[in-house]
Amino acid sequence: MLNTYDMFELDAGEDNSRRLPEHNLLIALLNRALLDYLGSSGDDHINAGEWLFAEDDAEDTFSYRWVCDHLGLEPDFLLGGVRVMREESNGKVKRWYLQRGKSDQIAA
């Protein structure tokens, strides 16, 4: 299982109050986009894909690249992993995710 805390090298049990609320917001934004892209179909999947794979630059506020820049993530590396996860999941990500009852984690 892969979750955003692992991806961002965060301890899921750590005291999140020590992180800036803005940092937590960006993590939640990216987490939601990844969940929608990997585990949804229809409009949610399409909208998340458009946001993730847009050709925006890191100067566009709240673009995917801007969010990654502020979280200290390499956007192209992360997207490479997202593509692999999507290809290998064959639509199983959503079913597995829902069966496990996870609320803030990406399951692969």
The tens digit of pLDDT for each residue in 12-71 reads: 555 555 678 999 999 999 999 998 888 877 899 899 999 999 988 888 999 999 999 999
State the average pLDDT over residues 3-17.
Answer: 54
Q: Are 93 and 39 in contact (CB under 8 A)?
A: yes
With beta carbons less than 8 A apart as the criterion, state whether 74 and 9 touch: no
Burial tier of 77 (Cβ tally within 10 Å: 0-12, 13-18, 19+): exposed
- The rounded distance, in Å, linking the Cα atoms of 67 and 97 is 24
Predicted pLDDT of residue 106: 46
Q: Which residues contact 30 (CB under 8 A, 6 or more apart)?
A: 4, 64, 67, 68, 71
Give residue limits of the domains in the chain: 20-100
Q: Is the pLDDT of residue 6 over 60?
A: no
pLDDT given at position 7 = 52
pLDDT band at 104 (very low <50, low <70, confident <90, very high): very low
Residue 51 in contact with residue 33, Cβ under 8 Å? yes
What is the spatial distance between Cα 93 and Cα 99, in angstroms, rounded to a whole number?
Answer: 10
